């Protein structure tokens, strides 16, 4: 399973992460060669996430119907063609089309690997396997820092994308020839019925806004705006900036392993993954506020927190695997990915538009521009966290009311309640009620 299922899909996910974050390093050369401003650069980078989000639902359906082997290998051929076109592009329009092709081509990289894990691995080990897959795939973000800088010195950004095209074609062939064909499930319900099952589930809409606003923002910052912040706000030179981006990329990989292991261990002790996800969110918001408020901390610390949260899909995907049966996991992950990448597009492109509202001073945007742009995303995350915690807040309110009023039936809000695990003190929403 590891050699013929796990590692081939890891290779595809690795390339997906590399394509996602590589514009951080080549953005300066693209701007210099083609005269791109912040708005165009934000659109060029974020169109990857826009098309990525747009094809998630049909790809989730294809994964459930035809299996990850066929879908992933076919789409990676599209990504390889997009990489080849990107390296040969001569204007902004061609770059935009090529970037969109890459986004479509790697749009199934994560979901196909997750689908393969759910299909071939025991359910109780899904969170841990997800963690290892994302950890190894996130090495693509590591490659998009110092190693890519070395390649750029030898090949330039055009030659680099030629090499990426060859690697992507090779990965497509590896998956097609190495991965065994999984048994195709019998179709017992229409696609519309299955999608309605997911999108009408209250548990899905409890986790989805929080997961999208946090993970999507982390991806956006890591993929583009971290480099601009480090250069324009922190005043780091290119060498120092790339070194810090390299450490942040390692944080994604380490964070995936850490969160996957934590989710697995906590699950064994009866603590559900929702609790871990809430704690990660609070830490994420704290890291962003430390940057925005310019607290006297080493900038690497909050940026490491942000990079680790980019791997929190380990937790949210594992939650969906608990909520839905195996034949629906492809669509469920796709539904969540639509929100992840849709919000990432909004944050990435919107940040560029907000920055353009300030005049460039000495070749850089002022600090206040970045602070305003980042604060807008934080506001949405705080609202999503409040929505996520409503059942727990209501439960706490009822307990307080019961304590002071002595009425076991006391209610403090109109939202349906949740059961608790009194033995371990962890608040656990009841599946039937949610």
Would the pLDDT of 371 be above 60?
A: yes
User: Rounded mean pLDDT of 218-229?
Assistant: 84
pLDDT in tens, 264-321: 888 888 888 888 999 999 999 999 999 999 999 888 899 999 988 988 888 888 788 7
Higher pLDDT, 27 or 175: 175
pLDDT tier, 164 (very low <50, low <70, confident <90, very high otherwise): very high
Higher pLDDT, 143 or 169: 169
pLDDT in tens, 22-62: 877 787 777 777 777 777 777 887 788 788 778 888 887 88
Would the pLDDT of 404 be above 50?
A: yes
pLDDT for position 406: 63
pLDDT for position 421: 38
Higher pLDDT, 42 or 9: 9
pLDDT for position 432: 40
pLDDT for position 385: 94
For the chain, what is the mean pLDDT? 82
Task: Give me the residues paired with residue 420 across strands.
Answer: 427
| In the chain, % of residues over pLDDT 90 | 25
Domains of the chain: 7-175+201-388 (1.20.1250.20), 394-427 (no CATH)
pLDDT tier, 419 (very low <50, low <70, confident <90, very high otherwise): very low
Would the pLDDT of 202 be above 90?
A: no
Would the pLDDT of 414 be above 70?
A: no
| Cα gap 261→299, rounded to integer Å | 27
Higher pLDDT, 412 or 361: 361
Would the pLDDT of 333 be above 90?
A: no
105, 168 contact by CB (below 8 A): yes
Would the pLDDT of 169 be above 80?
A: yes
């Amino acid at each position: 399973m590891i050699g013929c299922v796990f590692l081939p899909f890891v290779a595809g996910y690795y390339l997906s992460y590399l394509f996602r974050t590589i514009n951080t390093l080549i953005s300066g050369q693209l701007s210099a060669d083609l005269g791109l401003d912040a708005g165009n650069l934000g659109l060029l980078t974020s169109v990857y996430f826009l098309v990525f989000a747009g094809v998630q639902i049909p790809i989730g359906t294809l994964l459930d119907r035809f299996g990850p082997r066929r879908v992933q290998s076919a789409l990676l051929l599209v990504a390889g063609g997009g990489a080849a076109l990107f390296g040969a592009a001569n204007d902004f329009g061609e770059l935009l089309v090529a970037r969109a092709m890459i986004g479509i081509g790697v749009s199934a990289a994560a979901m196909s690997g997750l689908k393969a894990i759910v299909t071939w691995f025991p359910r109780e080990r899904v969170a841990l396997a997800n963690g290892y897959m994302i950890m190894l795939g996130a090495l693509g973000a590591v490659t998009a820092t110092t190693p890519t800088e070395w390649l750029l010195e030898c090949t330039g950004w055009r030659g680099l994308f030629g090499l990426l095209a060859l690697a992507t074609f090779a990965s497509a062939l590896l998956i097609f020839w190495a991965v065994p064909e999984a048994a195709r499930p019998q179709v017992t319900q229409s696609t519309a019925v299955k999608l309605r099952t997911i999108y009408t589930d209250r548990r899905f809409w409890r986790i989805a806004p929080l997961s999208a606003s946090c993970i999507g923002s982390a991806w956006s910052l890591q993929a583009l705006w971290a480099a601009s912040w480090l250069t324009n706000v922190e005043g780091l030179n290119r060498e120092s900036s790339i070194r810090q981006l390299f450490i942040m990329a390692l944080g994604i990989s380490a964070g995936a392993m850490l969160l996957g292991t934590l989710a697995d261990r906590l699950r064994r002790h009866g603590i559900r993954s929702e609790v871990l996800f809430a704690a990660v969110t609070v830490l994420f918001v704290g890291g962003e506020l430390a940057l925005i408020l310019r607290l006297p901390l080493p900038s690497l610390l909050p940026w490491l927190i942000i990079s680790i949260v980019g791997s929190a899909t380990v937790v949210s995907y594992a939650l969906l695997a608990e909520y839905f049966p195996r034949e629906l996991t492809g669509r469920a992950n796709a539904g969540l990915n639509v929100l992840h990448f849709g919000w990432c597009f909004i944050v990435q492109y919107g940040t560029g538009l907000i920055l353009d509202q300030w005049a460039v001073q000495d070749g850089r945007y002022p600090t206040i521009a970045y602070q305003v742009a980042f604060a807008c995303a934080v506001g949405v995350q705080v609202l999503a966290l409040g929505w996520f915690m409503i059942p727990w807040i209501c439960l706490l309110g009822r307990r307080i009311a019961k304590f002071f009023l002595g009425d076991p039936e006391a209610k403090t809000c109109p939202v349906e309640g949740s059961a608790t695990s009194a033995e371990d003190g962890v608040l656990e929403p009841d599946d039937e009620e949610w």
